Structure 1
Amino acid sequence: MSLNFSSNFNKWTRDLLHVLYPQTCLICKYEYNQSKLAICPICSSELAYTNYEDYPEETNLDKLFWGRVNLEGTYALLRFKQEGSTQKILHELKYRSNPEVGIHFGKEIGSKLKNMTKFSDVDALIPVPLHPKKEFIRGYNQAEVICKGIAESSGKTLRKDLLKRISFTESQTKKGKTSRWENMQNRFKIQGIKSTGLKHLLVVDDVVTTGSTLETCVRILREEFPEAKISIAVLAVAE
């Protein structure tokens, strides 16, 4: 009897909470209460996946960095378009205090990378760092929670101790390519004791548009790890 009562009580509690605080799909905003990360089946089926894992040739993300930095590989899970589903996902992750979004899609990225030969020997996941002030305001670093998801599904090691952001920058959203590049100079540095033995570094961020932030991070890591391979992975790419 006690087990049945406990089960019924838990169900009543969940139902009451749902009435008071209804959960909605984070994309279409219709009521949906089937998972911790609420994306309804219809919106899930319409997500703008890049399918880069199936590309036999270079992707647009590969080409974005041609002539800028030498990369072993690049990967993006979703395509970004204004007012599209990916923008809503990124907004939820960055501005609505929902790190579960990053972990969820990080797991998807990790699952994809496990089956891609060029990422098989990655031995360090490096999130693009936020300035401590911005991370305090947001409550977390969105690139780091994506890394946590990748680490969970791929078994790779998260190394947030290698790269540090040393100055606070204003939003890059409305800046052009040149302005973004200038805005990122001298913003990062290697921190802590020199690490040795790392052979393939994967730099992770939430979204790439012009690539200025990632390019800066790769250049700094290249100075510290001249013999290592460096790749990048992002949740979304603007195409």
Structure 2
Amino acid sequence: MNVKTAIKKIIKHLFPEACVGCNIRLSHENLLCTDCMYDLPITDHHMISNNSFTNHFLGRVNIEKGAAYLHFRKEGAVQELMHKFKYGGKFFIGVFLGNMAAELVEKVDYFKDIDIIIPVPLHKVKKSIRGYNQCEAFAQGLSEYSNIPCSVDILLKIKNTSSQTKKSRIQRIENVEKSFFVTTKVDLNNKHILIVDDVVTTGATLEACALALMKVYPGVKISMYTIAIANS
């Protein structure tokens, strides 16, 4: 055993890893304890073409398919996960969730015909404050598992909008209007894009992203995938 390995073992013994869902000490699990992993409220969106996710976009924007990996429940492991991931500097949680989410939907060929994964962008000011874009972490995890390329420089956030958290659906739509810019580095006409976000509530942000892409590339096809969907 070399010195580096020995130090890692000592650190792990003195500061054992804790479950990011309930904070109990982990023995051999990765990030989540067995109970929290088992209790994850996984959706069945990937099994049903018309679901509570796609219903958000009926009559608003045409998408090929849409799904969330988890149901967002307050006071549960998902809320704890999302809080630590988004505000706790834990980028790796997003990659972990992306890997698991990809493994789930791969069983039904959800990634079939997808050409590129595009995360919902974060304005450079917010990204500088937070240190990273949480959607990029999720996209990275999906990309790693599926081997579908991920691009972070096609769709850009040019308007530093206020938080969507306490806004109504109409307020959310107005808040993100004209917030996104699409570059022309890659011709996306006739390409199938998977836009990914962290949590979908009203769908306003995803809708704005899709419409921005469709305006520049009328022939583009859009699908969506998020970590979680909030209860309506």
TM-score, normalising length from structure 2?
Answer: 0.92
User: How far is the alpha carbon of 1:41 from its aligned partner?
Assistant: 0.7
2:80 matches 1:88: yes
Taking the TM superposition and a 5 Å limit, the aligned residue runs for 1:82-231 are 82-117=74-109, 119-196=111-188, 198-231=190-223
Q: Is the 8 A contact 2:123 2:159 kept in 1?
A: yes
Out of 44, 57, 73, which is 1:51 matched to? 44
Cα distance, 1:139–1:116 mapped onto 2, change above 3 Å: same
- Supply the distance in 2 between the matched residues of 1:200 and 1:54 (Cα, whole angstroms): 20
1:177 to partner: Cα distance: 1.0
Work out whether residues 123 and 201 of structure 1, in 8 Å CA contact, stay in contact via their aligned partners in 2. Answer: yes
Tell me the secondary structure at the aligned position of residue 60 of structure 1: coil
Distance 1:187 1:223, change over 3 A: same
* Counterparts in 2 of 1:197 and 1:217: CA distance versus 1, 3 Å: closer
After TM superposition, give the deviation of residue 23 of structure 1 in Å: 2.2
1:118 positional shift: 5.5
Residue type of the alignment partner of 2:212: I
- Whether 2:37 is the aligned partner of 1:40: answer no
Which stretches in structure 1 are left out of the alignment for 5+ residues? 1-5
Deviations 1:91-124 (A, max 9, x none): 1110111111111111122223333345400001
Output the CA distance in 2 between the equivalents of 1:211 and 1:144: 18
Residue 3 (structure 1) aligns with: none
Matched pairs, number:
231
CA distance in 2, matches of 1:226, 1:197: 7
User: Which one-letter code corresponds to 1:77 in the other structure?
Assistant: Y
2-side partners of 1:43 and 1:147: how far apart? 23
Distance in 1 between residues matched to 2:17 and 2:160, nearest whole Å: 35
Identical-residue share of aligned pairs (%)? 35
Instruction: Give the aligned CA root-mean-square deviation in angstroms.
Output: 1.9
Distance 1:102 1:131, change over 3 A: same
Q: State whether residues 161 and 192 of structure 1, in contact with CA within 8 Å, keep that contact through their aligned partners in structure 2.
A: no
Shift of 1:133: 1.1
Aligned to 2:21: 27
Q: CA deviation at 1:234?
A: 0.2
CA contact (8 A) 1:127 1:203 kept: yes
What's the CA shift string for 1:33-75, capped at 9, x where partnerless?
535x4211111111111132333x5110011111110000001
* Unmatched runs of 5 consecutive residues or more in structure 2: none
The structure number with the bigger radius of gyration is 1
Q: CA deviation at 1:14?
A: 3.7
**1:25 and 1:224, CA in 2 relative to 1: closer, same or farther beyond 3 A?**
same
**Structure 2 residue identity aligned to 1:30:** I
Paired with 1:92 and 1:41, the residues of 2 have a C-alpha distance of 19
